[in-house]
Amino acid sequence: MGTVDVQPVAAESATYRRRWWTLGILSMSLLIIGLDNTILNVAIPTLQREFDATATVLQWMVDAYILVFAGLLLLMGSLGDRYGRKRALQIGLVVFGLASFFAAFAQSSEQLIAARAVMGIGGALIMPSTLSILTHVFPREERGKAIGIWAGVAGLGIGLGPVTGGLLLEYFWWGSVFFINVPIVVVALLAGLVLVPESRDPHPRSLDILGAVLSISAVTVLVFSIIEAPVRGWTDGLVIAGFAVGVALMAAFIGWEIKTDHPMLNLDFFKNPRFSAGAGAISIGFFALFGMVFGLTQYLQFVQGFTPLEAGLRMLPVAVGMAMGAGLSHRIVGRVGSKRVVAAGLVCVGGIMATIALWQPDTTYVVIGVTLFFLAISMGNVMAPSTDAVMGAVPEANAGIASAMNDVTRQVSGAFGVAVIGSVINTAYSGRMDAAVASLPPEAAEAASDSVGAASRISSMLPDPLGAELAAAADVAFTDALGIAVLVSAGVAVAGAMLIARFLPARHLPRMAPVESHVRVANSEDAEAERGSPS
């Protein structure tokens, strides 16, 4: 009897004592996901030369990962809850590391696309596992701080991707942007064997196979349609059909989850306003952020004339600001509550984005860097408390699927932000280039009106003053188009702030269902805090 009582206590106490080391390993695992979301962007010109790839092939080098990753998140989160989150994390790291190795030494574009798709499988296992393990390891009163660090690392990875990619391409071969993942994976795997505890749903239900198929199909079709919309046009038959099929599959998934006795995603979670409003805030934030970053990278390279590495270095304020804002947000939340912090963060995001509309082609980097830094701090104060709201609203037994839902909203909203903001930029830019390209041959005029990159290339082939005039017109047109696009993002952020102020409770509500106590707190005060202490 004594052995039965003592061993769990000892295990829980050891897990609790090592919790910050565990967070370090989880953060390391998460870092490669953030890096891989953006590191490939700076390698695209190199890959185009290496594989003589078409624009469509280049697009799928990027999107194969996103498509598989987003489509499998809900299923992998559910499997982690059922079979063990540490196991899911370790398997994900192995898959991601092996796929990265093969991507680094791919001999054709087809091999690289296949490797990127397999990396998406690994990423879908890793990302929800990191957040659900964090929820298991940290008691309620420390979880806000831990999630702030988690969100900061996620933002840091996104911001460091272009810089890391630029540095690697400066000194190594193109495959180094993938090979860099391998040593990180090895360290995370070995350290995780000791420092990451296992956790799972103590009372798992039957596997919801139909729900898994419907969720994968719905998210994959929707993300595919979002990716293709700016390329084919929003009124293209395939795009419209894709959205229609995606919505129909999502409706079928919701209907089945309501009907079945063992749903993969308990839709009752959305009845908790902290869950639904938190997920909504994440969606709004990533829509605005990814759309803005998409336009900004082009502005820095094509309008201001920086190289990919120089542009990546100038994006560092985003990484630093996100990490600082997310890391400090839990202190502000402790004083005024999540509602005010998230709503104020979104208002600041909208207001700061609106100032980008005042930029000119020759705006100094001091203005750009300061703007990006404070924008990122504001975004960090949206992301960390919103993530904590989502994770704190569900039973810990379902932390994996809740984390996956959190990640799905990030990916789908980010992809949608790039698609919508990209379309706004392209439309506004083309409309402002009519007069500048009127004297060019039809093919050159069409290309220069299509993208600022093409206009820059064509202008370098023309004699002065024609070349200089075309370049100047393209710079002004793109800067104006970026200004219009960021106003759209700003409007979405401010509208989101009003919704958050209306629907997000300031503090944690009681959990929706009793949770089996498989948590690792070391004393009765921690256990009491776990049951209901506000953050």
Residue 506's pLDDT band, with cuts at 50, 70 and 90, is low
Query: Per residue in 324-357, is it b (16+ CB within 10 Å) or e — as a string?
Result: bbbbbbbebbeeebbbbbbbbbbbbbbbbbbebe
Asked if the model's pLDDT at residue 492 lies above 60, the reply is yes
- Where is pLDDT greater, at 4 or 459? 459
Question: DSSP letters of 485-496?
Answer: HHHHHHHHHHHH
pLDDT tens-digit series, residues 379-436: 888 888 888 787 777 776 666 677 777 777 777 787 778 778 878 888 888 888 888 7
Tell me what the mean pLDDT of segment 487-499 comes to: 89
pLDDT at 294 over 80: no
Confidence check: pLDDT of 150 > 60: yes
Q: Give residue 509's pLDDT band: very low, low, confident or very high (50, 70, 90).
A: low
Distance of CA 528 to the CA centre of its chain: 34
In sequence order, the 6+-apart residues with CB closer than 8 A to the CB of 23 are 134, 137, 138, 146, 149, 150
Nearest-angstrom CA–CA distance, 117 and 112: 9
Question: How many CA atoms lie less than 13 Å away from 1 in the CB half-sphere?
Answer: 0
pLDDT for res 513: 47
> At residue 286, does pLDDT exceed 80?
yes
The whole model's pTM is what? 0.76
Q: Which of 319, 315, 310, 42 is nearest to 169 (CA)?
A: 42
248: pLDDT confidence band, cut at 50, 70 and 90? Answer: very high
Helix %, strand %, coil % of the chain (to 5)? 80, 0, 20
Q: Which two tokens stand for residue 4?
A: 């039965």
Compute the average pLDDT of residues 102-127. Answer: 89
Contacts of residue 204, Cβ cutoff 8 Å, sequence gap at least 6: 81, 82
pLDDT at 56: 65
CB proximity list for 471: less than 8 A, separation 6 or greater: 455, 456, 459, 460
Q: What pLDDT does 532 receive? A: 39
- Evaluate the omega torsion of the peptide bond into residue 8 and state whether it is cis, within 30 degrees of 0: no
Mean pLDDT computed over 360-367: 92
Lowest mean pLDDT among 132-136, 347-351, 390-394, 452-456: 390-394
Q: Which residue has the tokens 């185009």?
A: 48
- Cβ 137 vs Cβ 520: under 8 Å: yes
What's residue 507's pLDDT? 59
pLDDT for residue 464 is more than 60:
yes
